[in-house]
Amino acid sequence: MTTLEQETNEVQAAQTPDTGSRRGSLVRRLLPLAPGIAFLLLWQYSSGRLIREAYISSPVAVAKRLYELFSTGAVYPDLQTTLTELVSGYLLGALVGVLVGYVLGRSELLARMFEPYILAAYGIPKIAFAPLFIIWFGVGMSSKIALSAAMVFFMVFFNVYFGVRSVNRELVDVANVLGVRGRRLTQYVYLPATLPYIFLGLRIALPYSVIGVVVGEFTSASSGLGLYMYQASVTFDPAGVFAGVAILLLFVLFGQLALSVIQARALRWQPTSTGRTPSA
Amino acid sequence: MTAKLNSAPAEHAPPRGAEEPVLEFDDIAKSFPKPRGDEVLKVLDGVTFSVRANQFTAIVGPSGCGKSTLLQLATGLDSPSRGVVRYRGEVVTDINREIGYITQQANLFPWLTLFKNVELPLIVRDVPRGERADRVAQYLRLAGLSGFENHYPHQLSGGMQKRASIVRTLIYAPPLVVMDEPFGALDAQTRMIMHRDLLRLWEEQQQTVVFVTHDLQEAVTLADRVVLLNRPPTGVKAQVAIDLPRPRDAFEPYAMSGYVETYDRVWGMFRSEVIPDDNA
């Protein structure tokens, strides 16, 4: 076709800037660090000058504490407990959330039956259930896994549920007429269409798994970072609390990073936000 | 219906089995609930016409007259409030997978590469892998899309997406192809090129085509027969045979002998639907 060459050029032209900008200057990439560094500097400056150090500790004191914790190995048992709870609770909640969200999203009938209950259950403050969870599942890891899974579930569920329901109706119609049915409709249409929402849910849910675990450990535990932070806070040891927070922060950041790497691979069919879609 | 006054090759003569219509609309009515209240909006009311095998039929009507709804009824994606739709003599009650359905939006699956998009109808029909690859390559060549196999839809121009959506339908050789303003969203030049390509493909494959448009000129340029609909509640205003020779000139249709006269004749019937207060 006569237009083909022209269109080829158009497409290539539209794509080239993308590879160019990926190199991006170093300054641009390090820019997000600036607010964080400024905050730490301000904190360090305020501590002992504007606000008593006994209240807010200081970045240097927290760093020292972290060094102690890791160099003596004192933190490892707590770390192991909390990490196990986090990963188990997150995976369990995410798995159930995706499954239930997907099934209710596809079935008008089940959605109508169960949506009100799930919405109502979402309104219950899960934290209030922490003591009950301890009674039901014991002081060990199970109660924290359950609490964390419960919080993760809702975040993942709602995103996946509404994601499935927002799948472009016309695209599904076209797929139907093309002869795509049953398992293949899931494989080629619904699942890929829902994937961005699944990732959104997984990312939003990540901090909630931490909240679930820490609240559980605050309530009653024999080991864990939450317990360590609890003990630090009742003994007026803000450096201990912040050290715990720092470790949890790293967990969440690492989780987000891992998710975004997986997401970038899984969703590489999506147009980038720089918008390189050539016009008609 | 009419003897064609044309110099086109013999395969354009009304072919085998032309007596039985491929698609029949029999006294179709369709109402939609109004956004507020219990009232219904009567869009279609008593639409009756049939489509013959291997003919290119254009349905033209003012906007909002229910043209697209007629196609939804033909595909079985929607059902009429009254009357029946018959496909090859059988009442359409479920999604009709023998029909090819081409929508105004290209509706390619954004998560599948161009190759996969075109291959999908063959996958779901359990065509062996080797044959699939051959046929996809053949149809992509036909549409001038070779070399773009691994592109995702957002990396293609509007015209390329459109061609891809058409060959995705033609590849499984549906006996009837319905098109819902397929070129409505394209710019004027791309549209003319698409007209030429569609005419070429059609002249090669001789499928039965039902083409919905609001553009009378497009209809007269492409079709063997034009079905004119009036404003809602919609019925068939007129059916006009377009006795213009083939192959047709998509770029300068008005240069074809008889085109201007034919267009004027059809427009004369149609203008009162477009200009309500005009008593011509």
Q: Does A170 contact B120 at a Cβ distance shorter than 8 Å?
A: no
> Which pLDDT score is estimated for B279?
53
Q: Is A5 on the interface with B (CB under 8 A)?
A: no
Select the residue from A15, A174, A188, A277 to test the B interface by mutation, using most B Cβ atoms within 10 A: A174
Look at residues B173, B197, B220 and tell me which one is the last residue of a structural domain. B173
Q: Is B190 on the interface with A (CB under 8 A)?
A: yes
Q: Does A270 contact B155 at a Cβ distance shorter than 8 Å?
A: no
> Which pLDDT score is estimated for B70?
93
Q: Does B172 contact A269 at a Cβ distance shorter than 8 Å?
A: no
Residue B266 lies in a domain: yes
Task: Give B188 to chain A, closest Cα distance, Å.
Answer: 11
> Which pLDDT score is estimated for A173?
93
Q: What is the pLDDT confidence band of residue A10, given thresholds at 50, 70 and 90?
A: very low
Q: Does B99 contact A175 at a Cβ distance shorter than 8 Å?
A: no
Higher pLDDT, A264 or B280: A264
> Which pLDDT score is estimated for A127?
86
Q: Is A167 on the interface with B (CB under 8 A)?
A: no
Nearest to B111 among A4, A184, A192 (CB): A192
Q: Is the dihedral of CA B192, B194, B197, B201 positive or negative?
A: negative
Same domain, residue pair B189 and B87: yes
The CA distances from residue A277 to A183, A200, B105, B161, in Å, are 31, 23, 15, 12
Same domain, residue pair B201 and B269: yes
Q: Does B159 contact A280 at a Cβ distance shorter than 8 Å?
A: yes
Nearest to B101 among A177, A195, A271 (CB): A177
DSSP secondary structure code for residue A230 in this structure: H
Whole-number Å distance between alpha carbons of A38 and B44: 67
Look at residues B173, B198, B215 and tell me which one is the last residue of a structural domain. B173
Same domain, residue pair B249 and B141: no
> Which pLDDT score is estimated for B8?
39
Whether the predicted pLDDT of B80 surpasses 50: yes
Q: Does the structure's ipTM exceed the value 0.90?
A: no
The CATH number fitting domain A96-266, selected from 1.10.3720.10, 2.30.110.10, 3.90.226.10, 3.90.470.10: 1.10.3720.10
Residue B18 lies in a domain: no
Neighbours of A106 (CB within 10 A): 17
Same domain, residue pair B75 and B204: yes
For residue A1, the chain B residue with the least C-alpha distance is B144
Q: Which two tokens stand for residue B29?
A: 């009515």
What average pLDDT does the structure give for chain A?
Answer: 88
CA atoms within 13 A on the CB side of B217: 13
Look at residues B133, B154, B173 and tell me which one is the last residue of a structural domain. B173
- Percent pLDDT > 90 in chain B is 50
The predicted model gives B171-196 an average pLDDT of 89
Q: What is the pLDDT confidence band of residue B72, given thresholds at 50, 70 and 90?
A: very high
Whether the predicted pLDDT of A203 surpasses 50: yes
CA B143 from centre of chain: 18
Q: Does B99 contact A8 at a Cβ distance shorter than 8 Å?
A: no
Task: Give B70 to chain A, closest Cα distance, Å.
Answer: 15
Using a CB-CB cut-off of 8 Å, the residues of chain A touching B99 are 177
What average pLDDT does the structure give for chain B?
Answer: 86
- Domain count of chain B? 2
CATH number of residue B91's parent domain: 3.40.50.300
Residue B6 lies in a domain: no
Same domain, residue pair B208 and B249: yes
Q: Is the dihedral of CA A130, A136, A142, A147 positive or negative?
A: negative
Nearest to B160 among A7, A171, A175 (CB): A7
In this structure, are residues B169 and B120 in contact, taking their beta carbons and an 8 Å threshold? Answer: no
Nearest to A174 among B101, B113, B190 (CB): B101
Residue B22 lies in a domain: no
For the stretch B128-168, pLDDT in tens is: 999 999 999 999 998 889 999 999 999 999 889 999 999 99
In this structure, are residues B45 and B234 in contact, taking their beta carbons and an 8 Å threshold? Answer: yes
The predicted model gives A275-280 an average pLDDT of 44
Residue B142 lies in a domain: yes
> Which pLDDT score is estimated for A125?
87
Q: Does B151 contact A11 at a Cβ distance shorter than 8 Å?
A: yes
- Percent pLDDT > 70 in chain B is 92
Same domain, residue pair B198 and B268: yes
Whether the predicted pLDDT of A66 surpasses 70: yes
Q: Does B111 contact A193 at a Cβ distance shorter than 8 Å?
A: yes
Q: Is A11 on the interface with B (CB under 8 A)?
A: yes
Neighbours of B248 (CB within 10 A): 20
CA A112 from centre of chain: 28
Same domain, residue pair B243 and B120: no
Q: Is A15 on the interface with B (CB under 8 A)?
A: yes
Domain ranges of chain A: 96-266
The predicted model gives B89-112 an average pLDDT of 92
Q: Is A169 on the interface with B (CB under 8 A)?
A: no
**Which residue range forms the structural domain that includes residue B71?**
43-98+175-273
The predicted model gives A53-82 an average pLDDT of 93
The predicted model gives A210-229 an average pLDDT of 93
Q: B31-65: string of b/e by CB count within 10 Å (b at 16+)?
A: beeeeeeeeeeebbbebebebbbbbbbbbbbbeeb
Residue B13 lies in a domain: no
The predicted model gives A72-99 an average pLDDT of 96
The predicted model gives B207-236 an average pLDDT of 90
Same domain, residue pair B92 and B180: yes
Higher pLDDT, A162 or A13: A162
In this structure, are residues B235 and B257 in contact, taking their beta carbons and an 8 Å threshold? Answer: no
Same domain, residue pair B211 and B263: yes
Task: Give B118 to chain A, closest Cα distance, Å.
Answer: 10
Q: Is A128 on the interface with B (CB under 8 A)?
A: no
Whether the predicted pLDDT of B18 surpasses 60: no
For the stretch A150-159, pLDDT in tens is: 999 999 999 9
Same domain, residue pair B148 and B69: no
Residue B29 lies in a domain: no
For the stretch B217-228, pLDDT in tens is: 999 999 999 999
Same domain, residue pair B52 and B126: no
Whether the predicted pLDDT of B203 surpasses 90: no
Residue B24 lies in a domain: no
Nearest to A3 among B77, B111, B159 (CB): B159
Whether the predicted pLDDT of A3 surpasses 70: no
Q: Does A176 contact B77 at a Cβ distance shorter than 8 Å?
A: yes
The predicted model gives A17-30 an average pLDDT of 66
Q: What is the pLDDT confidence band of residue A24, given thresholds at 50, 70 and 90?
A: low
The predicted model gives B88-108 an average pLDDT of 91
Whether the predicted pLDDT of A208 surpasses 80: yes
